[in-house]
Structure 1
Amino acid sequence: MPDHVIAQTEFLNVARAENGVVTVTIERSARKNAMSQAMWRAMTSLFEGLAGDSTIRAVILTGAGSDFCAGADITEFDTVRGSAEKARQYEAENSATFAAIRHCPVPTIAAIRGICFGGGFGMAAACDLRIASTTALFSVPAARLGLAYPVDAMADIVQALGPQLAKYLTFSAARLDAQAALDAGFLLEIVEPGGLDLRATELAATIAANAPLSVKASKASIRATLTGSAADAAVASKLGDETFESADYAEGRLAFREKRRALFQGR
């Protein structure tokens, strides 16, 4: 069945499949899906809204046309980042978007084709899993603009790339192709251009078919491990504990005994 469009702004399209997988598409292909200030704000609101929907199982983030996202729309910088005060506010809005993606309670998958630069790279790094077509090209070009990335975004980049490659990309503003990104561990896998959407959908469907409470607990535990935060560890422990008395745990045991596929409800 085709996905059902559940939200749409001028440049963002949100569609939901029956299995609870949501696909967020950046639709500004004429500008290589570059993000305007209004789009950053809309993306933040969108992911914050998704986080509050307990029926969602996974989220795919992708771009329309031949590119994922060229990053921030530099053509509006003289207006929206024309002073230090405005630049700080703009950076705070960038950080809010990265945080909303990072803190989404369900797994997030970046499906990347073509250009994935700057803020686009930051959004991809904030996702849990990243797959790409062979056309993907990555860059963190802040050094060529005289800017710095938000600290939280840099933490995502370091975790996704490793510190040495993160240093190389940010210091040099060099470009990385899909194979190099795969070899570095930034990508889970690469596929031929025509198979990217299908593979992202398959991966999301595999996740969606598993026990939602278990998947959310695992995501929270991994985050707590990476951050070393006591607060994150407490959240993860609570989510893990909630699985023990869940209906899904009972269903999983019953399905195992009956040698059939479990039908999880997320409760």
Structure 2
Amino acid sequence: MQEQKIIGRREGAVGHVVFNNPAKLNAVSLDMWDGFVSILKDFAQDPEIRCLVVSGTGGKAFVSGADISKFESERANAEAQVRYDAISKEGYEALYDFPKPTIAKITGYCIGGGMNLAACCDLRYCNEGARFGVPAAKLGLGYGFLRIERFSRIVGLPRAMEFLFTAKQYSSKEAYDMGLVHGVAADTELDAMVDGITGAIAQNAPLTIALAKAAAREIAKPESKQDHAKLDKMAEACFDSEDFKEGRRAFMEKRKPVFKGK
């Protein structure tokens, strides 16, 4: 039986998507993108899932980029590249537009496509041995506007240019100092760090969090294309919700609220 290259599982209120290609440092092929999108669609519709964690197996890599061994069959020319870009873009956008908070749990190499995935997540945490880089200039790949724009919003345009011009790799400390990751932990402590974040998110009001994420996505758009009316409706829904009543009661009763997203 062929080993599953993309694993989806739920642990309580947390959905997990795991890239499982450790022999190739979790490099991604077309069939893996298909599986990734399918899992995200299922998790987005699951009301029990409050947040999503994306990770890679093996401890040596989060995602090391595209599977270069498949370039001859999947990206041999401009026409094949268009097909690959369309499928991989669907994966990146499905993650970027996922309606609940997303966390990249990064161990080891986070390179190329791995950087794109991490940039599509809301939060990023890594182990001390993590390494970050965009080697497009060493491969002759075209790195388009959307990827550069999204990455530069996180680290700033000058730093993004340094990544792309030099194609060098950066340490976990450098990544933390530039704001690429929110926290760095020892190998044995990374799971606990991420579990602490997902636990806090899962306890909080889903409608409030959904509004915050939707607002963040609107902020990333040009002002002329921002949908403030949608955000206003989401805010009204928060104030009309059972969760808002529960939050007030819990505060008065000095207990933790139990939110249901309704």
The two structures have a TM-score, normalised by structure 1, of: 0.93
* Partner secondary structure for residue 105 of structure 2: strand
Instruction: Report the counterpart of residue 158 of structure 1 in structure 2.
Output: 152
* Partner secondary structure for residue 68 of structure 1: strand
* Partner secondary structure for residue 15 of structure 1: strand
CA distance, structure 1, for counterparts of residue 255 and residue 192 of structure 2? 26
Closer, same or farther: CA 45–150 of 1 in aligned 2, 3 Å:
farther
1:156 Cα deviation (Å)?
1.9
- Whether 1:183 and 2:177 are equivalent positions in the alignment is yes
* Partner secondary structure for residue 55 of structure 2: strand
- Whether 1:248 and 2:233 are equivalent positions in the alignment is no
Letter in structure 2 aligned against 1:40: W
1:232 Cα deviation (Å)?
4.1
Query: Does the CA-based 8 Å contact 1:40-1:94 persist in structure 2?
Result: yes
The two structures, once aligned, show a CA RMSD in angstroms of 1.6
Aligned sequence identity (%)? 34
Mapping for residues 22-41 of structure 1, pairs under 5 Å: 22-41=15-34
- Whether 1:110 and 2:104 are equivalent positions in the alignment is yes
Closer, same or farther: CA 228–249 of 1 in aligned 2, 3 Å:
farther
The total of aligned residue pairs comes to: 259
CA distance, structure 1, for counterparts of residue 83 and residue 189 of structure 2? 39
Closer, same or farther: CA 148–178 of 1 in aligned 2, 3 Å:
same
Query: Does the CA-based 8 Å contact 2:17-2:39 persist in structure 1?
Result: no
- Whether 1:86 and 2:80 are equivalent positions in the alignment is yes
CA distance, structure 1, for counterparts of residue 228 and residue 43 of structure 2? 23
Instruction: Report the counterpart of residue 4 of structure 1 in structure 2.
Output: none
- Whether 1:64 and 2:57 are equivalent positions in the alignment is yes
CA distance, structure 1, for counterparts of residue 100 and residue 228 of structure 2? 17
- Whether 1:225 and 2:219 are equivalent positions in the alignment is yes
CA distance, structure 2, for counterparts of residue 90 and residue 124 of structure 1? 19
CA distance, structure 2, for counterparts of residue 159 and residue 220 of structure 1? 16
Query: Does the CA-based 8 Å contact 2:102-2:122 persist in structure 1?
Result: yes
CA distance, structure 1, for counterparts of residue 119 and residue 108 of structure 2? 16
Structure 2's unaligned 5+ residue stretches are none
Letter in structure 2 aligned against 1:223: R
1:242 Cα deviation (Å)?
1.0
CA distance, structure 2, for counterparts of residue 52 and residue 236 of structure 1? 20
Moved over 6 A (4+): none
* Aligned with residue 135 of structure 1, among 129, 138, 142: 129
* Partner secondary structure for residue 204 of structure 1: helix
* Aligned with residue 42 of structure 2, among 45, 49, 58: 49
Query: Does the CA-based 8 Å contact 2:17-2:36 persist in structure 1?
Result: no
CA distance, structure 2, for counterparts of residue 41 and residue 141 of structure 1? 24
CA distance, structure 1, for counterparts of residue 19 and residue 9 of structure 2? 12
